[in-house]
């Protein structure tokens, strides 16, 4: 059983689902929580995945308590019905944590994709840092995206034989979707009008959704975007997250600005197009820290810590927090200093080569053979 519920999980797990479907040894059962309904459905559609079970769990403004309780009961009910041989979860969402816990309660082995990410601060990101640590205590196989992630697991006394460095499946996904776009260019045509509107401008792509940035952090982000977009040579494209804690601030502070396009969340092909258009990505997302460097785009991370230090070490990403002054200064440096820009754009992407899903399926096959 492969379990996911958010758009980032879907992007990172659909290559695994496809690899399992292509292997006659496996029959994947897909269960979605729909923790992000609309954004999840966009990825399912482009990937051609029809879930076997859909919990449709999301409710407006539900608390983490409510979400966790409903996920645990719902996922447990599906596991009772399906009796899967193994359960695969990804990352650090409430869906992933509850999926692992429900499987543990039933003594079903848990396989964790993107295992070993650690920020070292249980409140940043919140609640993701605790979610992934909880999953790590229960997982049977840990598919670490990098050597750094693997080392973090081993430092927590995880059996090294259970830890495998696979690369990150987020690098697999663009390879697959690029092929689809080549076959059907209209899949990535959603930004055509904005491209025309901002012709000749230097594009800054923005994504923001982190819970720990709600409130004062979002205000700082909005102020930075407003100030940087005041430059005549710059335009900002910002697919605004559906969470009202993001939307209300951004609409109040940025709506109507000439050089800012506040748009609805993009489906995956069009988001890939945004990555290709952008000169710089400004984000608090984890996935963007991995995806953008694959296209040679510098990433400024609006957080105080990151569980992806490999990008910072390699020079593909830089932590800038949510202080407007710092964000504006760092973006301006990249825009105005060619050497600084090239140093980030040409840095080696440490997150993989597009073969992670294949490696994961081979490791699962080996696990089944060893148990036979």
Clarify whether 156 is annotated catalytic: no
CA–CA dist 368, 365 (Å, integer): 5
Clarify whether 114 is annotated catalytic: yes
CA–CA dist 135, 152 (Å, integer): 14
In a 3-state reduction of DSSP, which class is residue 202? strand
* Long-range contacts at 326-329 (CB < 8 A, ≥ 24 apart): 327/220, 327/221, 327/224, 327/228, 327/282, 327/300, 327/302, 328/224, 328/227, 328/228
Tell how strand 53-54 and strand 141-144 pair up. unpaired
Clarify whether 211 is annotated catalytic: yes
Clarify whether 367 is annotated catalytic: no
The tokens describing 216, both together, are: 């004062």
End-to-end Cα spacing for the chain: 19
- Please tell me which residue in 202, 211, 227, 231 is annotated as part of the active site: 211
- The CA distances from residue 355 to 146, 151, 165, 291, in Å, are 13, 21, 11, 14
Radius of gyration, CA atoms only, the chain = 20
Clarify whether 348 is annotated catalytic: no
Clarify whether 209 is annotated catalytic: yes
Cα–Cα–Cα angle for 145, 149, 155, rounded to 5 degrees: 150
Q: Which of 90, 105, 125 is nearest to 17 (CA)?
A: 90
- Please tell me which residue in 53, 241, 273, 358 is annotated as part of the active site: 241
- Please tell me which residue in 111, 128, 212, 223 is annotated as part of the active site: 128
In the DSSP assignment, the letter for residue 139 is -
- Please tell me which residue in 37, 70, 112, 209 is annotated as part of the active site: 209
In a 3-state reduction of DSSP, which class is residue 163? strand
- Please tell me which residue in 54, 114, 129, 290 is annotated as part of the active site: 114
- The CA distances from residue 369 to 335, 339, 363, 372, in Å, are 53, 52, 10, 5
Asked if 131 contacts 97 with a C-beta cutoff of 8 angstroms, the reply is yes
Cα–Cα–Cα angle for 300, 306, 17, rounded to 5 degrees: 95
Active-site residue set: 92, 114, 128, 209, 211, 241
């Amino acid at each position: 059983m492969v379990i996911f519920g958010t758009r980032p999980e879907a992007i990172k797990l659909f290559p695994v689902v496809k690899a399992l479907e292509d292997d006659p040894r496996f029959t994947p059962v897909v269960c979605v929580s729909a923790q992000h309904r609309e954004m999840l459905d966009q990825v399912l559609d482009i990937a051609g995945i029809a879930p076997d079970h859909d919990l449709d769990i999301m409710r407006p403004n539900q608390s983490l308590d409510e979400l966790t309780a409903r996920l645990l009961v719902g996922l447990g009910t599906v596991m009772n019905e399906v009796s899967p041989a193994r359960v695969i979860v990804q990352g650090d969402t409430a869906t992933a944590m509850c999926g692992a816990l429900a499987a543990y309660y039933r003594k079903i082995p848990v396989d964790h994709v993107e295992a070993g990410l650690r920020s070292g601060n249980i409140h940043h990101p919140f609640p993701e840092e605790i979610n992934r640590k909880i999953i790590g205590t229960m997982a049977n196989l840990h598919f670490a995206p990098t050597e750094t992630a693997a080392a973090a697991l081993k430092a927590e006394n995880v059996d090294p034989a259970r830890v495998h460095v696979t690369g990150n499946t987020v690098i697999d996904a663009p390879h697959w979707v690029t092929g689809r776009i080549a076959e059907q260019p209209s899949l990535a045509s959603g930004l055509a009008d904005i491209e025309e509107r901002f012709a000749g401008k230097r594009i800054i792509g923005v994504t923001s959704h982190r819970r720990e940035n709600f409130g004062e952090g979002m205000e700082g982000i909005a102020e930075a975007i407003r100030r940087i977009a005041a430059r005549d040579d710059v335009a900002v494209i910002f697919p605004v997250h559906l969470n009202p804690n993001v939307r209300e601030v951004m609409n109040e502070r940025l709506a109507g600005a000439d050089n800012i396009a506040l748009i609805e969340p993009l489906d995956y092909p069009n988001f890939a197009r945004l990555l290709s258009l952008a000169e710089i990505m400004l984000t608090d997302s984890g996935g963007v820290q991995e995806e953008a460097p694959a296209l040679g785009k510098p990433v400024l991370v609006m957080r105080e810590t990151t569980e992806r230090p490999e990008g910072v070490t390699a020079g593909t990403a830089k932590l800038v927090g949510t202080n407007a002054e710092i964000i504006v200064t760092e973006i301006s440096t990249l825009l105005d200093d060619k050497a600084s820009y090239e140093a980030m754009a040409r840095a080696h992407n440490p997150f993989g080569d597009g073969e992670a899903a294949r490696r994961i399926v081979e490791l699962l096959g080996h696990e089944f053979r060893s148990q036979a």
